[in-house]
Amino acid sequence: MSTLESQDHKDLRTAVAALARRHGPGYDRATLWAEAGKLGYLGVNLPEEYGGGGGGIAELSIVLEESGAEGCPLLMMIVSPAICATVIARFGTAEQRRGWLPGLADGSLTMAFGITEPDAGSNSHRITTTARRDGDDWLLTGRKVFVSGVDIADATLIVARTEDARTGSLKPCLFIVPRDAPGFGRRAIDMELQAEERQFELTLDDVRLPADALVGSEDAGLLQLFAGLNPERIMTAAFAIGMGRHALARAVDYAKTRQVWKTPIGAHQAIAHPLAQAHIELELARLMMQKAAALYDAGDDAGAGEAANMAKYAAGEACVRAVDQAVHTLGGNGLTREYGLGKLIAASRVARIAPVSREMILNYVSHQSLGLPKSY
Ligand SMILES: Cc1cc2nc3c(=O)[nH]c(=O)nc-3n(C[C@H](O)[C@H](O)[C@H](O)COP(=O)(O)OP(=O)(O)OC[C@H]3O[C@@H](n4cnc5c(N)ncnc54)[C@H](O)[C@@H]3O)c2cc1C
């Protein structure tokens, strides 16, 4: 384990790993979520005055990584405490903070996050879900796709656009939409993933919301949105590193005992070296994740942006390769239900696609870090 971590962080890892190990890959999501919430792990990044742990994304990413490493990743941590609670804590009104943060911190409330749209995809400038005023209320209309956990979330933080009264241009804003709001429809998407959380296509058909459903200020929407997106990338890195570690550990155990010639298969370098490489890549990705979390927690949003993107990229790639090699190490058993690795082939791809794809991160680094021209 990294020596860059404080004793508190190491203790947190050990405690979360012990809890997650008791649940293991056959976990019941709701039970683990409730237990982790009660122990303060889900709100470890939130302000103490609202029942949180007073820590940051560094601590929250440890919780997600360790639960994933034991085969029971809490995917909703990427959205509920990391994006939604962060945005509410930093920009929400006093009432929104009082109403949501204690529940998000102890896990009794969950919030999903919806930005992706069918016709916009990676180009979030093209989102068309709009919010217009009707007296004091807001009316939201539009569509979202691939939104995780809407059925188990009390509300979804929806990214919509409002019209600037002065310029007429559309600016992004965040709205809290309760799960059962009239006009808020959802349809589960038939995914190949075997996961505890489902993805939904959402329809918003003149969903009427009170004035205080708007998070923070109408004019600071973009700033608020970005405040949530860095934690999202850092947490996706933690999700990927946890899954990669889980797969790698299964493969290493197997390679130490499975013997078909004179020695265990792990003695063959064709098996050992790719596993060693996977371990190195996961450790490197964790280093970048720690850098991103440290920058973000120190309040350096701009510096954290590059590091969070790079961490998400590195972790996604390391996870896909670790899972691929783990499955291969088990031979035929890599694809049996009993060993539980085959299903990770699809699951590991999530970290390469979401919340921002590998190519969009390479675009970001090409343009922002290297100053290369844009093709789009
Ligand atoms: C399991 C899962 C959970 C998800 N959960 C959520 C959620 O909770 N909330 C939410 O809002 N969204 C969620 N998403 C959506 C996710 O963020 C999107 O799938 C992702 O942003 C990519 O968008 P897209 O699927 O429309 O792909 P597209 O944008 O259509 O991209 C398709 C391919 O084209 C490539 N591409 C596109 N533009 C360029 C370019 N300019 N240069 C190079 N390549 C390019 C992409 O990299 C990708 O490989 C989830 C997705 C998955 C799979």
DSSP per residue over 275-337, as a string?
Answer: HHHHHHHHHHHHHHHHHHHHHHHTT-HHHHHHHHHHHHHHHHHHHHHHHHHHHHHTGGGGGST
Q: What is the whole-number distance in angstroms between the Cα of residue 360 and the centre of ligand 1?
A: 9
pLDDT number for residue 223: 82
For residue range 185-219, what is the model confidence (pLDDT) as tens digits? 999 999 999 999 999 999 999 999 999 999 988 88
The tokens describing 350, both together, are 């999530």
Fold matches, 112-218 and 222-369: no
Nearest residue (by CA) to ligand 1, atom 44, is 359
* Contact residues of ligand 1, CB 6 A cut-off: 79, 113-116, 121-122, 146-148, 193, 199, 350, 353-357, 359-360, 363, 376
For residues 241-254, give the mean pLDDT: 98
For residue range 64-120, what is the model confidence (pLDDT) as tens digits? 999 999 999 999 999 999 999 999 999 999 999 999 999 999 999 999 999 999 999
For residues 228-241, give the mean pLDDT: 97
User: Regarding beta strands 184-188 and 155-163, do their DSSP bridges make them parallel or antiparallel, or are they unpaired?
Assistant: unpaired
pLDDT number for residue 1: 45
For residue range 254-295, what is the model confidence (pLDDT) as tens digits? 999 999 999 999 999 999 999 999 999 999 999 999 999 999
Give the predicted TM-score (pTM) of the model. Answer: 0.97
Nearest residue (by CA) to ligand 1, atom 14, is 146
Q: What is the whole-number distance in angstroms between the Cα of residue 141 and the centre of ligand 1?
A: 21
The tokens describing 114, both together, are 């919806």
Residue pair 58/207 in contact (Cβ under 8 Å)? The answer is no
CATH value of 222-369 in 1.20.140.10, 3.40.1310.30, 3.30.70.260, 3.40.50.300: 1.20.140.10
pLDDT number for residue 275: 98
For residues 323-337, give the mean pLDDT: 98
| Ligand 1 site-directed mutation target among 74, 113, 117, 122, most atoms within 8 Å of CB | 122
| Ligand 1 site-directed mutation target among 353, 367, 372, 376, most atoms within 8 Å of CB | 353
pLDDT number for residue 373: 97
For residue range 1-59, what is the model confidence (pLDDT) as tens digits? 446 899 999 999 999 999 999 999 999 999 999 999 999 999 999 999 999 999 999 99
Nearest residue (by CA) to ligand 1, atom 50, is 146
For residues 353-370, give the mean pLDDT: 97
pLDDT number for residue 24: 94
Atom of ligand 1 nearest to the CA of 159: 11
Q: What CATH number is given for 112-218 in this structure?
A: 2.40.110.10
**Domain boundaries of the chain, sorted by first residue:** 7-110, 112-218, 222-369
Q: What CATH number is given for 7-110 in this structure?
A: 1.10.540.10
